[in-house]
Structure 1
Amino acid sequence: MRFVLKIFLSSFSVVVAAWLLQGVDLRDYLSAILVAIVLALLNTLLKPILVILTIPFTIITFGLFLLVINAAMALLAAYFVNGFYIAGFWWAMGFSIIVSLMNLMINLDDRKRR
């Protein structure tokens, strides 16, 4: 049940980011749910490998390279989900920042309730 709630809250973050950014196009709410699921899978399976492989870049850039990895995850999600389009890298960067900040606020509120 908790996983389903997190997916729906993440899909809300996706909808808000798509609404705020002109370069991000979202066809419908089902696409937003699929994007949230694909992002969860990519962040679970692929992101840890990329973080380990790019440790030198992350250290040199004081952690800012993690934003590039998040943008890459967003572009991959756009590739896999029909109905979700990101116009380019910088739009993906903005999308990942907005979604990350919104999910951070949601998770902070969730921790306060425990």
Structure 2
Amino acid sequence: ALLGLVSVFACSVAIDKVLSIGGGANAKSVQIISERWEEIMETIQSELDRGVTLIPGYGGYQRQEKTVILCVVSSRQYNHLLEIIRRIDDKAFTITTDAADMHGEGFTYSSPNI
């Protein structure tokens, strides 16, 4: 039983490596909710040279209007993005998902930043 578990784990790691090299997610899509959204947005634009999309939101718990920042960064830039968020607002709420297929303004197949 232990050998089977180890085999499944090894196969999972191998598959993840192959997917990340051959067309798997190479970027992260991050949603950020913070009272200091303007400062976070400006810092993302200046330090990471990334655009953001601002989405109007409404907090269900506190029943207040919110601004949600949506930003897609390369996997290499992801830790820097988290550092920016924590530096400005350590209480910010973030949701991160893998982004494997981006098209449109700012995103090309040969982009050096993604």
- The two structures have a TM-score, normalised by structure 1, of 0.28
Judging by fraction of residues, say which structure has more helix: 1
| Bigger Rg over Cα | 2
Higher strand residue share:
2
TM-score of the pair, normalised by structure 2:
0.28
